């Protein structure tokens, strides 16, 4: 596999840009530097915001984005809570009572689909248990979920991201909490968030785009999910995964495009030319030296990143040896 290329600004080839939030648009409460400005320059493509974080309802997410300087509509925001509620509404009878282990975003999504969330594991007619992220979740909540799953109830989860980027660093995500219940029960949940299909299906149903572009910071959710859904992807270096991770990624987790941040939407992405142990892209040149990718000449940020990744993938196609990067681009 090689990186895709375009001689025109990347966003010009797409009618919808599907944006992950945590680590792409913001970290915690603060915008990623340059993100709001880059998105404000998008004029032709529709912006949609896809989040695996099930804690907040779409209205709260929209308010957060508005405070940062963006102006999304509620319909532009698609959460994993909405996606899993949609799955459950197909599986369960209307008005089914479900044990909801999560935040307001999960509960509101369930109600919107005609389901009845409860905190009581002993509620009459309990039909299922669903788990979503909230920072207030405690041991007792996880234990109640585990007891409900052990009783034979179907188990659903909004997403399984092991970590979540915050303003202070990388913190445990919903996947870590789901794993705790998995360890206690030996069962596997039905999952809606990236990389699974339901979140993408919900988005495509709303937007009906002809040439969407998914932008993400995680290879195992954003990029893998886009590849499974047949959606072109752009990886940015503002969140969880690193440039070294991209160079060493397995085929299913390799993005079509790479960029330092959302400004890469407005860059052309020239072809990478690999020759022997070197690669050139625009004004950038990178060489392989003792399993290390070394930047010899920097071009633009996007050109240099593309040369690094292009050479790395070419070298790993010949020998599946983990490579390192001795010089990266400041995001």
Q: How many whole angstroms separate alpha carbon 303 and alpha carbon 130?
A: 44
Q: What is the pTM of this model?
A: 0.91
Q: Is the pLDDT of residue 330 over 90?
A: no
Reading the block at residue 270, the tokens are 């020239």
**Cis before 195 (ω within 30):** yes
Lowest-pLDDT range of 109-118, 170-179, 322-331: 322-331
Please write the tens of the pLDDT for every residue from 56-93.
999 999 999 999 999 999 999 999 999 999 999 999 99
Place of tokens 């060493």: 248
Q: Is the pLDDT of residue 187 over 60?
A: yes
**CA 116, 117, 121, 125: dihedral to nearest 10 degrees?**
10
pLDDT at 329: 55
Mean pLDDT of the chain: 95
Domains, the chain, with CATH or none: 10-52+197-325 (3.40.50.1000), 81-191 (3.40.50.1000)
Please write the tens of the pLDDT for every residue from 171-184.
899 999 999 999 99
Active site residues: 20, 22
Please write the tens of the pLDDT for every residue from 122-146.
999 999 999 999 999 999 999 999 9
pLDDT at 99: 98
């Amino acid at each position: 596999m090689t990186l895709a290329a375009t001689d025109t600004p990347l966003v010009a080839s797409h009618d919808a840009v599907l944006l992950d939030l945590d680590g792409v648009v913001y970290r915690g409460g603060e915008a990623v530097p340059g993100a709001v400005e880059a998105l404000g320059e998008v004029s032709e493509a529709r912006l949609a915001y896809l989040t695996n974080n099930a804690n907040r309802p779409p209205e709260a997410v929209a308010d957060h984005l508005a405070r940062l300087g963006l102006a999304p509509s509620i319909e532009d925001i698609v959460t994993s809570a909405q996606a899993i509620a949609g799955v459950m509404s197909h599986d369960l009878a209307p008005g089914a009572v479900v044990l909801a282990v999560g935040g307001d975003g999960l509960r509101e999504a369930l109600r919107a689909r005609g389901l009845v969330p409860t905190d009581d594991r002993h509620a009459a007619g309990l039909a299922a248990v669903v788990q979503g992220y909230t920072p207030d979740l405690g041991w007792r909540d996880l234990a109640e979920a585990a007891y409900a799953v052990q009783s034979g109830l179907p188990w659903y989860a909004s997403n399984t991201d092991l970590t979540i980027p915050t303003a202070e660093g990388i913190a445990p995500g919903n996947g870590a909490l789901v794993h705790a219940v998995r360890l206690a029960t030996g069962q596997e949940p039905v999952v809606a968030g990236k990389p699974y299909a339901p979140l993408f299906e919900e988005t495509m149903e709303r937007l009906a785009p002809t040439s969407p572009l998914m932008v993400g910071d995680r290879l195992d959710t954003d990029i893998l999910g886009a590849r499974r859904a047949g959606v072109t992807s752009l990886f940015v270096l503002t969140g969880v995964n690193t440039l070294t991770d991209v160079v060493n990624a397995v085929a299913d987790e390799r993005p079509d495009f790479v960029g330092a941040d959302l400004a890469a939407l407005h860059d052309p992405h020239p072809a990478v030319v690999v020759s022997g142990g070197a690669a050139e892209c625009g004004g950038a040149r990178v060489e392989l030296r003792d399993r290390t990718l070394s930047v010899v000449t920097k071009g633009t940020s996007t050109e240099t990143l593309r040369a690094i990744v292009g050479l790395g993938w070419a070298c790993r196609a010949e020998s599946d040896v983990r490579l390192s990067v001795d010089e990266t681009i400041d995001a």
